[in-house]
């Protein structure tokens, strides 16, 4: 039996929202998603007219959706924001190349200025150089600290008032678990059954 959208009741539901358990169609999902973000921006006074906002652009799905939604809502609701894309090149051979190409396509598609900052430019070290020195064991710690600082430095270069980043619920849960003092027990797949 085909489930109809719980909002419009005309179209076939294509997903069930984890937040509300409501089954909705594609059109209603876009509407609800965009409306919720707009209300979050307005209700929390996140920006004021004329603010310069850098969208942290990794080239992944979260930052690409963020660039799209910020551009769309800025135009639709006349926020008056000056948007730009800010991307970081860590200098990891074969890792960031495709993502940076996606960011460059986003720049063209959304007609937004793009600033790419690199670890090499900022620190005179690439992540490849760091791994050669420290090995693979602690390289993620270096990369995380450098990335946050690179975004801050890129923001200064752009003269922005805000940096916005795109994250999904899985990212947030992963961060909580990775930074938690408690350790979850490890189970083999058979023990979990």
**Domain with 150 in it: what CATH number?**
3.40.50.620
- Do 28 and 15 belong to one domain? yes
> Does 179 fall in a domain?
no
> Does 27 fall in a domain?
yes
Backbone angles phi, psi at 181, to 5 degrees: -75, -30
- Do 56 and 148 belong to one domain? yes
- Do 72 and 164 belong to one domain? yes
Query: According to the per-residue pLDDT averaged within each range, which of 29-43, 121-135, 169-183 is highest?
Result: 29-43
> Does 85 fall in a domain?
yes
- Do 115 and 34 belong to one domain? no
Count the domains in the chain: 2
- Do 75 and 136 belong to one domain? yes
Q: Is 13 annotated as a binding residue?
A: no
81 token code pair? 């924001």
- Do 58 and 134 belong to one domain? yes
The pLDDT tens digits of the residues spanning 81-104 come to: 999 999 999 998 888 888 999 999
Q: Is 129 annotated as a binding residue?
A: no
> Does 176 fall in a domain?
no
Q: Is 173 annotated as a binding residue?
A: no
Backbone angles phi, psi at 116, to 5 degrees: -110, 120
In terms of residue numbers, what domain contains 120?
51-169
Q: Is 58 annotated as a binding residue?
A: yes
> Does 90 fall in a domain?
yes
Q: Is 32 annotated as a binding residue?
A: no
Q: Is 56 annotated as a binding residue?
A: yes
- The average confidence (pLDDT) of the chain is 88
Name the pTM for this structure.
0.83
């Amino acid at each position: 039996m085909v489930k109809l959208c719980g909002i419009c009741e005309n179209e076939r539901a294509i997903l069930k929202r984890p937040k509300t358990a409501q089954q909705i169609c594609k059109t209603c999902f876009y509407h609800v998603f965009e409306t919720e973000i707009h209300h979050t921006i307005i209700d929390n006074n996140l920006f004021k007219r004329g603010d310069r906002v850098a969208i942290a652009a990794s080239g992944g799905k979260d930052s690409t959706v963020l660039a799209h939604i910020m551009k769309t809502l800025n135009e639709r609701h006349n926020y008056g924001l000056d948007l730009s894309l800010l991307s970081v090149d860590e200098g990891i051979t074969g890792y960031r190349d495709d993502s940076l190409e996606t960011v460059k396509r986003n720049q063209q598609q959304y007609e937004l200025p793009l600033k790419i900052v690199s670890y090499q430019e900022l620190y005179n070290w690439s992540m490849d150089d760091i791994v050669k020195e420290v090995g693979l064991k602690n390289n993620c710690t270096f990369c995380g600290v450098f990335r946050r600082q690179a975004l801050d430095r890129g923001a200064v270069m752009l003269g922005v008032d805000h940096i916005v980043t795109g994250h999904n619920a899985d990212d947030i849960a992963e961060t909580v678990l990775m930074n938690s003092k408690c350790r979850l027990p490890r189970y083999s797949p058979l023990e979990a059954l």
